[in-house]
Every structure is written in C-alpha cells, then in structure tokens.
Structure 1
Amino acid sequence: MISHGFKSSKKDFTFGPWKVTTAQNHIMKSKDIERLAQELNLPALPEMLFGDNILRIQHSGGFGIEFNAIDALKRINNSDDAVQVACARQWQESRLASEHAQEVVRPYDWTFTTDYRGTLIGEERQLEVTETTERINLEKLRAREQIVFFDEVLLFEDELHDHGVSTISVKIRVMPTSFFTLLRFFLRVDGVLIRLNDTRLYHEAGQKYMLREFCTRESNIAELKNVPTSLYTDPNEIAQHLTFKLSRCEKLILPEQEHDAINEDLK
C-alpha cells in the first residue's frame, strides 16, 4: 500500500513531446464528499478520497490521458447488482449489530469496484480508441532500462468497515524510449473474494499510438485455500493466483500532427 503522508506535492516531467504531471493532495473534506456523493447518486464514498490527486500524460498538441478519483468513482455501479449484493449480504449479516449495516438503505456497490481505464483529455483533438489484437510486450518491459521518472498516486482507499480493503492507485515510469503506466483497483473482502482490475498503458517513442490493456482477475476465498493467506494483502503476489475473467486491448491512436508543424513554422 502507498504511504498516506499528507504532504502535498506536484511534479512535472517533460520528455520529447510529452509532459507528465502528478499531484498529491489532502483527503477531501467531509462536506465536499457529501456533495459529491449526491452528484454521483451513491449512498457513500470511500473513507479516504483524494479528489485532487491526479496523474496526467499530455502531448504538446494538447491531447492525452489522465487518471483521477472522481472519474473512477463515476464507473461504480450505483444500482442493484446480483454479484455485489450477494457479497454485500454476507458482509451485512456479519455486521447486523453495527450502525453501518443500518445505513445501507438500498443496494449499491459498497466495494467501490470500478472498471475505470483513464480519462481522455484535449479540447480540439483527443486520442482515438480502437480495439486491437496487439499486446504490450511485457518481456521488453522487464528488461533493465534506466528509469528517468517514476511516481505513484493514490486515488482512493476504503477499509470496508474493517472487512477488507478497496483501493485504486496509478503509477508511471518513464524510460528513455518509452513510458508505462499501471492503474490498479484492488479489492479484498475478507472471507469472500479478492479482485484485481488492472489497466496497463504503454507507449514507445516514434509510435503513432499507445497500447492500453484492461483485465479483471477475481477468485472467491474458497478457491484460494491452497494459497498462503499472507499473500492476500499483496496485490502483486496474489495476482498470479486469481482467476482470469476478462481482457480488453485497445490502441489509443495519436491525432495527426501536420497542422501543428505548420503552426510552428508560422511562429
């Protein structure tokens, strides 16, 4: 887990035509959280919500992609869901004596599961998303290469009233010829299930596109009986033991840059 230090920070790193910006700020105030919950039509929001935290990757042409907590929350199911309610029922039955169980006035995804994959940015032009069979070359990523910039940003975290954890964070590393971003949603409901939603984003210098892979892995705790429980709290370790559920691979195609060059010539 990421350290929850409260020192605000902002970092900018420019490489080629790209600029990475990361911002880490204080937890949202309760009154702002209440207002946001109403806007999103959710009975509750994560107890540790970093609404001003952000990781943005922006091209000099104005387009790019960013990762923020608010847009991640918009992807939470705020209505009845059979799988979620089944989990919630187990959780609620174990908490009948608590005040929290009485607070849930209607079904919603109390685990805050989100399939958020980032937010495309750009006023005039944006990255074009198309499905692809091309995959990120993970072997190439494992090769030892100098890391010229690295940062990790926590978007939200909730301990599910001491019955597990729900958290989403994003990290980026920039190498001399490429950059790689991992957005990870990790859910552990004690005694029920463990789930990972991973979004990987990769771009090589000179390529006209980024590759974005989204995948879900999930297992019931009963299916993990042969896995040491010490691994349950480590997303990196438990990932290889979870059942692969789905995958989506996309190209994020960069807009054409011809008139950018023309405009530069006119300056």
Structure 2
Amino acid sequence: MFPSTSTMMSHGFKSSKQDFTFGPWKMTIMKNHIMKSKDIERLAEEMNMPSLPEMLFGENVLRIQHASGYGIEFNATDALRRVNNMEDAVKVACAQEWLESRADSEHSKEVVRPYDWTYTTDYRGTLIGDGVQMQVMKTTERIDLEKLKAREQIMFFDEVLLFEDELHDHGVSMISVKIRVMPTSFFLLMRFFLRVDGVMIRINDTRLHHEAGNDYMLREFSMRESKVAELQNVPAALYTDPNEIAQHLRLKLTECERLELPVTPCPTANDVL
C-alpha cells in the first residue's frame, strides 16, 4: 500500500523540510541529523532512563495540520515517553531469556536494566492545537484497507525515521512513519518493529486514514508478537522484513478510534461586518 522503500533509512546529516497541501490540511516533513550525545544524555536523564536508542532523530517530525490549527504529529521524543522506564515482569522475563541465550556475549550482563531496553512504545501520535484539538472516540468502524489497495495516483509520499537501535548487534528496535496522499484521501502508517534475535519479534502499528470531506479521521492501533520458537515454519529470511513477517505474527490487540474534527463556527453577521 506504499511505494517500496528500504527498511533501513539513510542516516545522513543533511537537514530538510518540505510541505504538501491537501485541501485544508498541510503535511510537514522535517528531517535532521542524529541527536548529539550530550542532548541524548540530557533527554535520558529527563525520562529517567539509563540510555536511549543509538540513533535518535529528535528533530524529525511528520505533522498533519488543519488550516484551523489543530492536527496530529509524530515525533521521537513523544514516542520514547511511552516506553516503560520501570521494570515490567513480561519484558524482564523476555530480557532474561535473551540474556541466557547470549551468555557468551560481552554485553549480555548489561541488558537487564530497570527499564524497557527494547524501547517498545505504543505511541499513536501527538494531538496538536492551541485551545482546540481533535476528540478521540472509540469506534467499531475500520479503515478499508482493500479500498486503499486500489491503484490511485500518489500525489505525495515520504517516510521519516524517528529512532533505531541495534540492541548490541543482537536485533533491532526501530520506529518510522510514512504517509501517502491520493486525490481523495491520505493514509499514514507508523510502525514500531522489534526483533530480538533467537527470542521474539514484535510489531506495533498505527494506521491513520482521512477521506476528503469527512469530519473525522480513522485511527487503528495493533500489536503483534510471536516468539521465534512459534515461527519455525516461517523462513528465517523474512524475520528482517517487517512487511513480510507481520502477517505471521500473533495479533494481540486491535483498537479503533475516530479522531473527530472540531466544529468550525460559521461567521455571524457581526463577524462579517
């Protein structure tokens, strides 16, 4: 449903900013270099975490903003704020399993810390707007993914990497967001992908869809996860491809929401005068 792109994005230092307008909406894409060490250390201290991802793009942003000021954006800092910075029984158990499987690693004793060292996040975006924002409502309505598969002109496409960590060369933890704009709608996918070699694979997806003329967006969040032992019938070559492995992972959670657009008041006679 998106143009084919490489999973690993360029980590160049060239900064860029571009805007694209879709009706009353403006998509803003900002890309910058990896955060400097001193800034990462300061942020880690603020978040009460021993360390942050090796490649943290703190100034990378994908923002969707209405002409009235409200909207939603996706950034690395807010994604990391959703990481558990305290011990969690499930995650620590997984870390212990990894620790035992990597007993000969020089880094193995550094893995289990009082925080989620996998940087798993259930971040779904940050609502923006001074005074007025979109309202989040639970819904049973689903994004029509089949409709999105129809061949339609792509007027704009981009992808933004928020952070990535190679887990001491024993896997990968990364989150990126990409958007495509068609003549009648826009569709966004933010994906958190975690692979701990020999242990487990996890994917948290946030999908956002808005059709021109509708007074709401649809947002779907899903969590998928399987232990590697449960994927024995899946070719190992697929483990490194989030798009391919996603369909083989066990679905643990799906939540659907409507982001209701604020009602813009009509001008009164006094306003006109």
TM-score, normalised with respect to structure 1: 0.95
Cα displacement (A) at 1:95: 5.0
Among 22, 41, 65, the residue aligned to 1:34? 41
Secondary structure of the corresponding residue to residue 38 of structure 1:
helix
Secondary structure of the corresponding residue to residue 71 of structure 1:
helix
Cα deviation, 1:193-245, whole Å, max 9, x if unaligned, reads 00000000000000000000000111000000000000000000001101110
CA contact (8 A) 1:46 1:157 kept: yes
CA contact (8 A) 2:92 2:112 kept: no
Cα displacement (A) at 1:157: 0.2
Report the CA distance shift for 1:242/1:98 in structure 2 as closer, same or farther (over 3 A): closer
Say yes or no: does 1:84 pair with 2:98.
no
Cα displacement (A) at 1:101: 4.1
Other-structure match for 1:162:
169
Q: Supply the AA of the counterpart residue of 1:226.
A: N
Cα displacement (A) at 1:108: 1.4
CA contact (8 A) 1:43 1:104 kept: no
Among 28, 41, 53, the residue aligned to 1:46? 53
The whole-number CA distance in structure 2 between the counterparts of 1:266 and 1:195 is 55
- Farther off after superposition, 190-199 or 5-14: 5-14
Say yes or no: does 1:134 pair with 2:137.
no
Among 241, 263, 270, the residue aligned to 1:256? 263
Q: Supply the AA of the counterpart residue of 1:129.
A: V
Cα deviation, 1:90-131, whole Å, max 9, x if unaligned, reads 333455565644445742110000000000000120000000
Other-structure match for 2:121:
114
Among 205, 210, 216, the residue aligned to 1:209? 216
Other-structure match for 1:241:
248
Other-structure match for 2:151:
144
Secondary structure of the corresponding residue to residue 232 of structure 1:
helix
Cα deviation, 1:31-54, whole Å, max 9, x if unaligned, reads 000000011111110000000000
The whole-number CA distance in structure 1 between the counterparts of 2:231 and 2:75 is 32
Secondary structure of the corresponding residue to residue 4 of structure 1:
coil
Other-structure match for 1:180:
187
Percent identity, aligned pairs only, is: 74
Equivalent residues, number? 265
CA contact (8 A) 2:224 2:246 kept: yes
CA contact (8 A) 2:11 2:34 kept: no
Other-structure match for 2:4:
none
Cα deviation, 1:152-210, whole Å, max 9, x if unaligned, reads 00000000001100000000000111000000000000000000000000000000000
Cα displacement (A) at 1:8: 1.3
Cα displacement (A) at 1:89: 1.3
